Amino acid sequence: MISMTNVVKRFNGNTVLSDVSFSVKSGEIFGLLGPSGAGKTTIINILAKQLTAEEGSHTVDVEDFTQVGLMLEEDGLYARLTALQNLNLFAGIYGVDKAKTEEALKSVGLAEESKKPVAKLSKGMRQRLALARAIIHSPKVLFLDEPTANLDPNTARGIHKLVFALRDSGTTVFLTTHNMEEAVNLCDNVALLHKGEIVEYGAPGDICQRHDSFKTVPDLESVFVKLTGVVLE
């Protein structure tokens, strides 16, 4: 459904992605893991055609890009409009029935905040609103850049449930995270990004078994440290 082959990306002569190849199967939750600055957001931006790569090829298997949902760190919400108005604006652009906006707000636990201007929402609420906006048009492929960063554990679990429900309804979900527990619990397959390359790929449990880091639960964190020497916060 999504693939990258030998992608190279440089910013002002600095190579950020030196040779990235991986693929994501249709209908799975795929997690791209890596420390801060590894190039996770850059990969999403390349796949979502917000940035171009210097070398290599990549595909997202959709008829057109309106079938893609995108949630980035920079939420791009209109601060002076209310939560509902922000969603209605997008619903208008995508030709989605406005009834869907209330449903989307509810699904991210923001029904109560619908009439609040975005400027008055907390960071976590803005993040959830950006997620609601990303799914409002029922995308076939959904890119989520650190969907649960800054969220309390309860809210994060709510987002996980939503991601599972989206996967179960046929959406392919591509997410990035620093959180190994999240990766183990949520993702069907993960790729570990280090120094511009993918250093491991597979189901979290299989990766941990390969590296002998399977005690009572798969310990993806130790695998990552073993492979890269980097401790993710």
Ligand X SMILES: Nc1ncnc2c1ncn2[C@@H]1O[C@H](COP(=O)(O)OP(=O)(O)OP(=O)(O)O)[C@@H](O)[C@H]1O
DSSP secondary structure letter of residue 218: B
Q: How far is the CB of 11 from ligand X (least distance, A)?
A: 3
Looking at the Cβ atoms of 12 and 169, the one nearer to ligand X is 12
Q: Which residues bind to ligand X, rule: CB under 6 A?
A: 11, 16, 34, 36-42
Distance of CA 33 to the CA centre of its chain: 10
Is residue 121 within 8 A of residue 88, CB to CB? The reply is no
Secondary structure of 9-37 in HEC code, one letter for each residue = EEECCEEEEEEEEEEECCCCEEEEECCCC
Q: How far is the CB of 173 from ligand X (least distance, A)?
A: 17
Contacted entry of Mg ion, ligand X, none for residue 133, CB cut-off 5 to 8 Å set by kind: none
Distance of CA 186 to the CA centre of its chain: 12
Site string for Mg ion, 16-55 (x = CB under 5 A): ------------------------xx--------------
Q: Cα dist. 73→77, 144, 176, 185 in Å?
A: 11, 9, 11, 22
Looking at the Cβ atoms of 41 and 86, the one nearer to Mg ion is 41
Q: How far is the CB of 44 from ligand X (least distance, A)?
A: 8
Site string for Mg ion, 128-157 (x = CB under 5 A): ------------------------------
Is residue 91 within 8 A of residue 100, CB to CB? The reply is yes
Q: How far is the CB of 42 from ligand X (least distance, A)?
A: 3
Query: Which residues sit at the interface with Mg ion, rule CB under 5 A?
Result: 40-41
